[in-house]
Amino acid sequence: MSRLMIIGCGGVASVAIHKCCQNSDVFTEIMIASRTVSKCDALKEKLQGTTKTKITTAKVDADNVDELVALMESYKPDAVLNVALPYQDLTIMDACLKAGVNYIDTANYEPEDTDDPTWRAIYEKRCKEEGFTAYFDYSWQWAYQEKFKEAGLMALLGTGFDPGVTSVFSAYALKHYFDEIHTIDILDCNGGDHGYPFATNFNPEINLREVSANGSYWENGHWVETKPMEIKREYNFPQVGEKDMYLLHHEEIESLAKNIPGVKRIRFFMTFGQSYLTHMKCLENVGMLSTSPINFNGQEIVPIQFLKALLPDPASLGPRTVGKTNIGCIFTGVKDGKEKTIYIYNVCDHQECYKEVGSQAISYTTGVPAMIGSMMVVDGTWKGAGVFNVEEFDPDPYMEALNKWGLPWVVDENPQIVE
């Protein structure tokens, strides 16, 4: 029996909520809290007749620590699952510390305002010291380690798919297939087609900032940075086919470099079609991806937020998206003195996801692991005080849960490798 507070009500949150309600033996009670309480109420209305889980809803501003604390102290959850925006990670972590509640999220912190002078000074120092320029990194949340440890609370970071499942795949590979892992290539392929000229599969602000930034990878103990979309490879993805993929910076590289001993290189690739890249470059060239406020007709607007309002809502893509995703990791290393290569991956069908929970596979592949990570915390399968990434725990129960709750995985022991 447990009580989980879920903050957020977008596509990923909706999937996580659906899956918690399917798993009512563990999640006996949930609260859905968001700034737009009508969305929470609509989800409750849809689900409450189909589950034994008791659902309550609440209005909360996830930027307001005092509001969050008051709600947590009133509801008294065993844990808080943050599926709001990465901008709000730190305020929710602060609230969890004050209220004495465990914390779980799917994506690491990044600032909403990248021109903020205080944040900028810390960011520029990190760029020089670490050698990568992405706006998002784990340093802000890892800095909470002692606070959570002293409070006897757990903060579980990054239990989506990538980061999340890909990191658990890495821990599983090290436990069962390797004595040493030397290289990890994380491959994220979306073979789906939504029929729009241009749309993003998750929050446009986060998605477009991520893919228009410099790429980077970890090699021989340090970061190597590349220009946006500079490194391109082709890969024949099982059940999807041949796709172009591009090297990006991604957050799990940072934690895996820290937590997988002896790893020599970690790269992350994501597939994009030429039409997507052309649209994105055009928008970037005219300033529409900027996070800096501008004055328009006497009103201050942020270009990328205005663009978000123009683009299709990712939550609306479910009924019209067809095709499959394939996300996984290719590992090379040594077992019993012999070189070895394996590929662990999951294939997810957009339409099957929509039939089950009313969302496409991008939301599904993040929402299911969000529920699983929450389960690991609230039922005590994973225990600890402090701030943790998912690869720091025993991967086996998480891997079993993936098979049970809709994300079955495959181990290919003779895969095509990426040059």
Average pLDDT on 168-179 reads 98
pLDDT value at residue 206: 74
**Domain segments of the chain as ranges:** 165-357
What band does 275 get if pLDDT is binned at 50, 70 and 90? confident
pLDDT value at residue 137: 94
Average pLDDT on 15-21 reads 98
What band does 218 get if pLDDT is binned at 50, 70 and 90? very high
| pLDDT score of 42 more than 80 | yes
| pLDDT score of 401 more than 80 | yes
What band does 364 get if pLDDT is binned at 50, 70 and 90? very high
Average pLDDT on 268-273 reads 92
CA distance 287 to 271: 24
Identify the architecture of domain 165-357 in CATH.
2-Layer Sandwich (3.30)
pTM of the model: 0.93
pLDDT value at residue 37: 96
